[in-house]
Each structure stands twice: as C-alpha cells, then as structure tokens.
C-alpha cells in the first residue's frame, strides 16, 4: 500500500470519526487489505452531477463523512453565490440503503450553516424534488440516490435554483469548493436543527395537481378509465406517487406488481433495478400477460426513468426501447395539442445528440422548434431556462428511458411520463388500436428509424488510456466508410468542430465541449462514440433508417435495420 493511502487510513483512525467507522477500518486491516486499499486509495470524486459510489468506510466510499464534506462545499458555494439573502434548499431521497441517513446528514450540515432546509418526510421520486425547488423558491437542492445502479451504490445529486442539475459555471465552482474541504473538522455537523422543515402531503398534492394539468384528453380517459394497467416501482420511490397520479387522471384498473411494490434498497427480485433491462421488467411482463393488460410500466428506484411494455402488431408482448418511447410521447403531445387548438407558434421540443433523429423530423414537420443538446437532462433544463422568455417548452427526452413533460419539473420525470403514456394508450384504444400500431404509423409517416447501443469496458489499469487512444485514433484518422457507406460528416464535440469529409467544409458546433464523436454516413446512419468520464468504459450509439411504405413490410424492414447495426459493429471491429 502506498504512503498516501496509508496516511489517509491513519488520519481516519486518529481523527474525529465515530467509533463504528474506526472499528470497521480495523476489521478491514485484519481481514481484507485489498478492500481497505480500494476504500482509501483516492477520494470519491465530486463530479459535475455530484457523488456516486459504493457505500462503506473510506475516502473512496459513500458514507456520512464524504456526504458531509460534499455538503459543506456546496453550502459554502451557495453562501458565496447569494450574499445577504435567505438561502433555501430542498432535500429528497429514494429507497436505497442509507438514503434516509444521507439525506438527514445533508440536511443537518446545510442547516448548521444557517441555510433553511426543506426535507421530505420519507422517500419521494426525484422529479418531485426538482418541483419542490421551483415551488418553494429554493436556491439549491440535493437528492440522495444512485439511480439505477446496483444495490451496493448510493449517490448525491446536486441541483441549482431552476430545479435542474448543476451546469456551468456552477458545476465546476461547486467542485472547487468541495475539493477545498480537506478535513471533517471543516464541516459544520450540528446546531441548526431549527432550520429544518419537513415536507409531506401538501407538496405531494401540488405535484399531483401539476401532473394532472398535463393531461390533454381527460375525456378519453373517462371513456377508457378501465384501461388495464400493470405498474412496477421496482422496489423504489415510484410507489409513493405513481398510483396516486394514475388515480387523479381517472384510471381505475391499475394493477401493482406486488413482488416489487415494497421499497427495498436490496432490490431482492432483480440484479439491476433498471427498467432498461428486460430481466428487471420480466415479473411485470408476466403479470401483464397473465391478466391480458393493455400496458406495462416500470420506474427505477428514484422514479426518473420509465420502461414500457405493449403488445406488438402480432399480439406479442414487447418492451419498447427509449427512443421508441420518446417518439410516441413527442408525437402524442405535439399532435394532441394541435388537435385541441392549444399548440402555440413558439412551441419547442428538445432531445439529445445521441437520441433518434426521428424526433427532429417529427417536430419540424409539425412546425415545432427542435433543439438538440448534450446527453443529460441538465442540458435540456439549461436550454429551457435560456429560452423560457421567448419559446414555450412542450416536451424533452433522451434515449436512456427519460422524458420531461412540461416546464414545471427540470429533470427527467417518470411519474408524469407514466400518466401520459397511459393516456396515450387510452387514446389509441379508443380508436381500436395499440401504441405499437401508432408507432408503425409514425414510421410510415416520418421514416423508419431504429437505434441501439453497446458499451465496451476496458479492464485493468490501462483501461482509461486504451479508450483515450481509441478516441484519438478516430479523431486523427476517421473511417472513410462504415459498412460500405461513405462517412460524410465528422462531428467532434470536444473540439466544437463539424467537418464535411467529402467537401472539406468545417463549422463550429454551438454546444458546450464534450468528449463525443459522431460519424454521419451518406446513407443516413449515425454512429456516436461517448467515453465515460469516470470509468474505463465507452458507449457506441447506432442509428439507422429506411423507408416503410405499408404496415405489412414492418417485420422485413425491422430485421434489415437490426442486421445493419450488427454489420456496422462488425465493420468497426467493436466486438
């Protein structure tokens, strides 16, 4: 073990840490020195979104002390940013092990710094935290969650006064303040308890009413109130609000997946509590088949992501991917608002650079201004803030199973998404159709786009270096062709540079810098390479397209698009 790591361990053993923490360190010294080194060899990084890591003792773990030091740094920045003003923050948490403890620790540190704290009485969906920040006029907020990560993890997401996660310059400035906290003795742990107010039903009711106001066709729900809905919260916080919101909308036949209904940070029925995973949705899918449901929905532990299952054109149950869900939601909100006469001339929709191009085509053909931002809902929230005096935000979404409907919440919101997806299913059912029928119609109308992604992890100490070299290779020597089609454009978001590889024309990309490369081929395929900033991992996103003339061609064309992505992966030697 190197000297720096040993010094950190000794500092914890001799410093103002509780007895249980010191005993846990001593136990690791006796039984598992490898785990001990892993726990202390570095400090858990406070990234642009906050903290996320495995729970345990040590500088590289989520625990009372890493959470407290992060909160002290955030508090210091808030105090500098809003001088001579009463500062307020809202704090929420999900069902993960220790989430309540971390939320209370966070609340105590903020309060001890003279900051007024609104702490939810128990677990709540992350989007309600964003809503509460805006409703209460807070300057910041925190939610304790590790989203869809395995049970060993927890995290800490930081928010600003608009209800969105931190973006420049605040993200880097908060990181600077957090890094300046070098000792637990720099943290104000107690003494401000009178500054803490508990939030409960009153905020829930305001949030539920806000979501209910998003409904476009309440009269259709009245007709189709018995739409057979299966919902699973996957042991998470969705159980607190999703059933209530569906009831408020008027749905009367909501069937909860009982095996996954109780909040439980051990997530006993799944390997990963992520609705993107078919295994995670399998219990709900079985229930949907058993009772012949109309729609299946699942939300992750902090209820910001949504997974959806429907019957396809053959009557078989299928799980939609994130881009398909995005397209259905965009189409419904845009078309329904137009049909109801409530569309505005300055309506806008937002998606991300790695999501389906079909969102752009659909929006623009319906005279809705479309914007594409970097991956992450904080960038969607940031653009809403920038444009809110000139344009009317309607909907945003990205491929990673996230939607944000209306501008009252500034983070992805599966609670409102579940309600609107059920309304969409009710609307199609009133016409004797399914959501899958609608999706095929959209493919015929706007083009058949299909997307997929793969994630590649490079193991060992050289993993990050290998991925950096891979990206540099693509920058210096971009492929001339991919799967037989010429690469027409190279978009380099790190250099903020777009280039036509055929004509040599270049242009500036007007987005914040991000280490992402995109290749656009002459046949319309889009391949995006996006490395993780914290892990030796890189994601490749693939989007391909063709034309679909009639419904009877769907299966043939779908198989062709799937094969095309396989051929691209093979041609780029990514397996």
Tens of pLDDT along 248-266? 999 999 999 999 999 999 9
| Torsion angle of the four alpha carbons 512, 155, 34, 19, in this order, in degrees rounded to the nearest 10 | 140
Alpha-carbon distance 195 to 192, whole Å? 6
Alpha-carbon distance 528 to 452, whole Å? 11
Domains, the chain:
1-41 (no CATH), 42-199 (3.40.120.10), 207-446 (3.40.120.10), 450-571 (3.30.310)
147 in active site = yes
* pLDDT at residue 218 is higher than 80: yes
* pLDDT at residue 536 is higher than 90: no
35-49, 166-180, 245-259: segment of lowest average pLDDT: 35-49
pLDDT digits (tens, 9 = 90+) for 383-395: 999 999 999 999 9
CA 263 to chain centre: 20
Alpha-carbon distance 412 to 299, whole Å? 12
* pLDDT at residue 459 is higher than 80: no
CA end-to-end distance (rounded Å), the chain: 35
* Under 8 Å between Cβ of 268 and 239: no
* pLDDT at residue 460 is higher than 70: no
Q: Which helix (H) or strand (E) holds 26?
A: helix 19-31
Residue 462 is predicted with a pLDDT of 78
Cα R_g (the chain), whole angstroms: 24
Residue 461 is predicted with a pLDDT of 62
Q: What is the 3-state secondary structure (H, E, C) of 493-525?
A: CCCCEEEECCCCCEEECCCCCCCCEEEEECCCC
pLDDT digits (tens, 9 = 90+) for 298-314: 999 999 999 999 999 99
Alpha-carbon distance 121 to 188, whole Å? 23
Residue 45 is predicted with a pLDDT of 87
Q: Give the pLDDT band of residue 271 (cuts 50, 70, 90).
A: very high
* pLDDT at residue 47 is higher than 90: no
Quick one: which of 235, 148, 528 has its CA closest to 357? Answer: 528
What's the whole-number mean pLDDT along residues 521-531? Answer: 95
* Under 8 Å between Cβ of 176 and 187: no
Preceding omega of 169 cis (within 30 degrees of 0): yes
Reading the block at residue 311, the tokens are 């019957």
Residue 133 is predicted with a pLDDT of 98
Using CA of residue 161, residue 162, residue 166, residue 171, what is the dihedral sign? negative
List the catalytic residue out of 95, 99, 130, 147. 147
What's the whole-number mean pLDDT along residues 335-341? Answer: 96
Reading the block at residue 245, the tokens are 């919101």
What's the whole-number mean pLDDT along residues 26-49? Answer: 92
pLDDT digits (tens, 9 = 90+) for 482-514: 999 999 999 999 999 999 999 999 999 999 999
Alpha-carbon distance 197 to 119, whole Å? 6
């Amino acid at each position: 073990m190197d000297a720096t790591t040993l010094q950190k361990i000794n500092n914890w053993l001799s410093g103002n840490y509780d007895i249980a923490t010191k005993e846990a360190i001593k136990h690791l010294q006796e039984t598992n020195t490898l785990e001990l080194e892993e726990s202390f060899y570095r400090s858990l990084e406070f990234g642009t979104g906050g903290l996320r890591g495995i729970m345990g003792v040590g500088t590289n773990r989520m625990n009372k002390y890493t959470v407290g030091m992060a909160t002290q740094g955030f508090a210091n920045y808030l105090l500098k940013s809003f001088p001579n003003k009463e500062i307020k923050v809202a704090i929420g948490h999900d069902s993960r092990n220790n989430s309540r403890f971390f939320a209370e620790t966070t609340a105590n540190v903020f309060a001890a710094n003279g900051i007024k704290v609104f702490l939810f009485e128990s677990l709540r969906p992350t989007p309600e935290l964003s809503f509460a920040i805006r409703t209460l006029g807070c300057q910041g907020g925190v939610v304790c969650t590790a989203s869809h990560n395995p049970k060993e993890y927890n995290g800490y997401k930081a928010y600003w006064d608009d209800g969105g996660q931190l973006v420049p310059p605040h993200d880097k400035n908060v990181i600077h303040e957090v890094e300046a906290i070098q000792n637990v003795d720099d943290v104000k742990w107690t003494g401000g308890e009178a500054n803490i107010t508990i939030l409960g039903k009153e905020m829930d009711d305001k949030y539920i009413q806000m979501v209910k106001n998003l409904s476009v066709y309440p009269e259709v729900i009245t007709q189709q109130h018995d739409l057979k809905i299966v919902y699973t919260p996957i042991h998470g916080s969705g159980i607190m609000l999703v059933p209530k919101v569906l009831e408020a909308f008027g749905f009367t036949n909501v069937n909860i997946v009982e095996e996954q209904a109780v909040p439980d940070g051990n997530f006993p029925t799944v390997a990963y509590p992520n609705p993107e995973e078919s295994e995670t949705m399998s219990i709900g899918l079985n229930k949907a088949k058993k009772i012949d449901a109309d729609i299946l929905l699942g939300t992750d532990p902090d209820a910001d992501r949504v997974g959806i299952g429907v019957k396809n054109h053959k009557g078989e149950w299928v799980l939609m991917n994130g881009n398909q869900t995005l397209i259905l939601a965009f189409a419904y909100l845009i078309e329904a608002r137009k049909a109801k006469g409530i569309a505005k001339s300055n309506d806008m929709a937002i998606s991300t650079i790695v999501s389906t191009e079909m969102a752009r085509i659909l929006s623009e053909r319906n005279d809705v201004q479309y914007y594409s931002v970097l991956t992450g809902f904080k960038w969607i929230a940031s653009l809403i803030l920038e444009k809110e005096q000139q344009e009317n935000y309607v909907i945003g979404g990205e491929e990673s199973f996230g939607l944000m409907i209306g501008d009252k919440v500034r983070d992805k919101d599966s609670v409102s998404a579940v309600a609107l997806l059920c309304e969409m299913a009710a609307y199609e059912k009133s016409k004797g159709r399914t959501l899958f029928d609608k999706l095929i119609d959209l493919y015929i109308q706007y083009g058949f786009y299909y997307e997929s992604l793969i994630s590649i992890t490079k193991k060992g100490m050289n993993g990050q270096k290998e991925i950096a070299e891979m990206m540099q290779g693509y920058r210096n020597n971009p492929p001339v062709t991919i799967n037989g089609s010429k690469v027409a454009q190279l978009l380099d978001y790190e250099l903020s540079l777009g280039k036509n590889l055929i004509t040599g024309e270049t242009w500036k990309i007007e987005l914040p810098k991000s280490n992402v490369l995109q290749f656009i081929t002459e046949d319309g395929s889009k391949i995006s390479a996006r490395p993780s900033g914290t892990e030796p991992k890189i994601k490749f996103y693939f989007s391909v397209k063709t034309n679909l003339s009639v419904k009877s061609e769907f299966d043939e064309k779908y198989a062709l698009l799937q094969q095309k992505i396989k051929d691209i992966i093979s041609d780029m030697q990514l397996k």
